Amino acid sequence: MKNRPTADFQTARRQRELSVSRRQFLRGLGVCMALPIFENSVGPVLRAATSPVGPATTSTGAPLRMAYVYVPNGVHQEYWWPTGEGSAFELARTMQPLAGLKNQFQVIGGLDHKNAAPGNDGAGDHARANATFLTGARARKTDSVDIQVGVSVDQLAAEQVGHATRFASLELSCDSVRKSGSCDSGYSCAYQYNLSWRSAATPMSPEPNPRLVFERLFGAGAPGERQKNFEQRQATQKSLLDLVLDDTRSLQRQLGAKDRDKLDEYLTGVRTIEQRIQRAESFGKLPVPGAEAPSGIPESFGEHMDIMFDLLAMAFQTDSTRVATLLLANDGSNRSFSEIGIPEGHHYCSHHRNSPELVGKIGEIDLHYMKHFSRFLTKLDQTKDVDGNSVLHNSMIVYGSGNADGNRHTHDNLPVILAGAGGGTLTPGRFAKFDSQPMSNLFLSLNDRMGVKGLDRIGDSSGRLKGV
């Protein structure tokens, strides 16, 4: 990546080069997701790879993706950590579903989120675990006024590499229902239900409804009408944006500082959509996924997870975005797992106080989440990318929790899996043990790979995580 031309020039060039392959790529997808459809497009892409690459691109010219998947309430430690170290390691119980993919991921030990620990803030480990997970920052303890944490790693990446795809980033959640009443110990619910933060005070609300995710990505309506509907919508939105932009500015002059902040959020939204529309125009036709649009939120939680994972896979495969987050459930979630014979709530089981019965159940719940994650990785592994590698190979998927041990609310030695080879920049297939480093160091290292420039720190980072 030395002696690069200026970023803009380079981007434009990359886009030209990729446009051929992208169109072929997208046409191919119409057939069926699982078919090896990319052979024909390898030529131009590989040629492109000989020139310097743009952001979020592998050395072979394929898109490089980054995703964060959150599993709530930590994990049962004994069932989580592998034995051995480096490439000689044995998976423990919870990771058994990943056995077939053992060379495709690494287990990372020794990463901490000190900012999720109580410090001077007292109770509220769940809210903090959730809020700190991708920000590395300490959430200000407040139930409403002056919510503040930090910009999350995905948004830092999206800011710089987002222009390469139709969506700068994608925020998903399987939490469709919110509990009323207060959230965790004096923390606003915003901390607990959002992973991704655009600014220190503005969360990126995630979408829990599979149908709406699909329509956003691939257009609404019957398969033949989506392109037309989409174009119409873009045109209308563009005309509306001009109107409201003017409105927002005049209103901002009228309001006080706090209110101006609220309007700023609105204004940022306007700009984001403007950019997205511009990008969409430059990208041409909508991708056509080889799948039906899902109807709403399925009743079974397992199905809900699967369908969100599928949508994420489709978004990556169609190169609709390269940055995503998925909150499987908010930290502190007390979801009941009757579908696997565990009527007790997850949070309740996580405070097992070493009762063998509850430990057994928390183990089952951890395993349940992992099975669905494993299904997702398998899908990415079986999907061929433009460069002939698998999509998983060209991805960096972090699966983890901001709580380490849910029983004791610890935030050291967090459970972290890093799946995918990052387009060949990562060394999967090992258990990498570190000696107590901020989790944020991993974020910096992954963002480096995404081609994010000028980032000295994220949250409490103390440097790059070397050797992942």
Partner 1 sequence: MASYPIPFRRLSTVTCSFLTLGLLSGRAESPSASATFHREIEPLLQNYCYDCHGDGAKKGKVSFDTFASDKDVFANPSLWLTALKNVRAGLMPPPDDTDPAARPTAEEVKKLENWIKFDAFGIDPANPDPGRVTVRRLNRAEYRNTIRDLMGVDFASDVEFPPDDTGHGFDNLGEVLTVSPLLLEKYLQAAEEIVDKAVPRISRVPIKRVIAARDFKREERPVRVVDGAEKAAEPAAATDVPTEQRQAARLDLNVRRGGKSSYTFNITQAGTYKLSFEASVRSTFDFDTGRANAIVYVDGIEKQRQEVVWGGKTIRFDSEQTWSEGSHLLSFEVEPLNPEEPNPIAPQRPVEVALPTAPAVAAAEAVVVAGAAPAPANTAVPAPAGRRGAAGRGGAAPRPVSRSTDLRITSAELSGPMDPKQWVPPENYRRFFAEDAPSDPKALDAFADKVIRDFATKAFRRPVDDAKVTQLVAVARGVYTQPNKKFEDGIARAFMGVLASPRFLFRVEEPAAAEAKMAFAAVDEYALASRLSYFVWSSMPDEELFRLAERGELRKQLSQQFARMLKDSKSQAFVRNFPGQWLQARDIETVPINARAVLGQGNLRGNTSTPQDLNAALRRMMRSETEMFFEHVLREDRSLLEFIDSDYAFLNARLATHYGVTGVTGEEIRKVMLPPDSPRGGMLTQGTILAVTSNPTRTSPVKRGLFVLENFLGTPPPPPPPDIPALEESQKATDGRELTLREALAAHRENALCASCHARMDPLGFALENFNAMGNWRDLDAKQPIDPAGKLATGEPFANISELKKVLTHERHLDYYRCITEKMLIYALGRSLDYYDIHTVDQIVARLEQDGGKFSTLLDGVINSVPFQKQRNLRVGPGATADASEAPASAVAQVTVH
177 makes contact with partner 1 (CB under 8 A) = yes
336 makes contact with partner 1 (CB under 8 A) = yes
Q: Are strands 416-419 and 65-70 parallel, antiparallel or unpaired?
A: unpaired
Residue 92 or 245: the one with the smaller Cβ distance to partner 1 is 245
403 makes contact with partner 1 (CB under 8 A) = no
Q: Are strands 170-173 and 323-327 parallel, antiparallel or unpaired?
A: parallel
Q: Which of 159, 231, 303, 344 binds partner 1 (CB under 8 A)?
A: 344
Burial of 98 (0-12, 13-18, 19+ CB in 10 A): buried
Residue 85 or 242: the one with the smaller Cβ distance to partner 1 is 242
228 makes contact with partner 1 (CB under 8 A) = no
Touching partner 1, residues 64-123 (CB under 8 A): 118-123
Residue 20 or 266: the one with the smaller Cβ distance to partner 1 is 266
273 makes contact with partner 1 (CB under 8 A) = yes
395 phi and psi angles, rounded to 5 deg: -130, 165
| Span of 56-64, 128-136, 345-353, 421-429 interacting with partner 1 by CB under 8 A | 345-353
Task: Write the CB contacts of 14 (distance below 8 Å, at least 6 apart in sequence).
Answer: 48, 53, 54, 57, 164
Q: Which of 20, 46, 49, 201 binds partner 1 (CB under 8 A)?
A: 201
Touching partner 1, residues 240-259 (CB under 8 A): 240-241, 243-244, 246-248, 250-251, 254-259
Touching partner 1, residues 206-225 (CB under 8 A): 206-209, 212, 216
Touching partner 1, residues 355-384 (CB under 8 A): 355
What minimum distance in Å lies between the beta carbon of 233 and partner 1? Answer: 7
Got the DSSP string for 196-262?
Answer: -BSSSS-B-PPB--HHHHHHHHH-SSSGGGHHHHHHHHHHHHHHHHHHHHHHHHHHHHHS-HHHHHH
Q: Please name the amino acid found at residue 136.
A: G
437 makes contact with partner 1 (CB under 8 A) = no
Task: Write the CB contacts of 42 (distance below 8 Å, at least 6 apart in sequence).
Answer: 386, 387, 388
- The dihedral through the CA atoms of 447, 452, 456, 459 has a sign that is negative
**# residues near partner 1 by CB under 8 A:** 91
Q: Edge-to-edge strands of the sheet including 395-400?
A: 170-173, 323-327, 65-70, 395-400, 416-419, 105-112, 430-438
353 makes contact with partner 1 (CB under 8 A) = yes
| Span of 22-30, 321-329, 403-411, 443-451 interacting with partner 1 by CB under 8 A | 403-411
Q: How far apart are CA 23 and CA 290, in angstroms?
A: 15
268 makes contact with partner 1 (CB under 8 A) = yes
198 makes contact with partner 1 (CB under 8 A) = yes
Inter-CA distances, 271 with 12, 182, 219, 282, Å: 21, 33, 21, 17
What minimum distance in Å lies between the beta carbon of 180 and partner 1? Answer: 4
| Span of 195-203, 311-319, 368-376, 425-433 interacting with partner 1 by CB under 8 A | 195-203
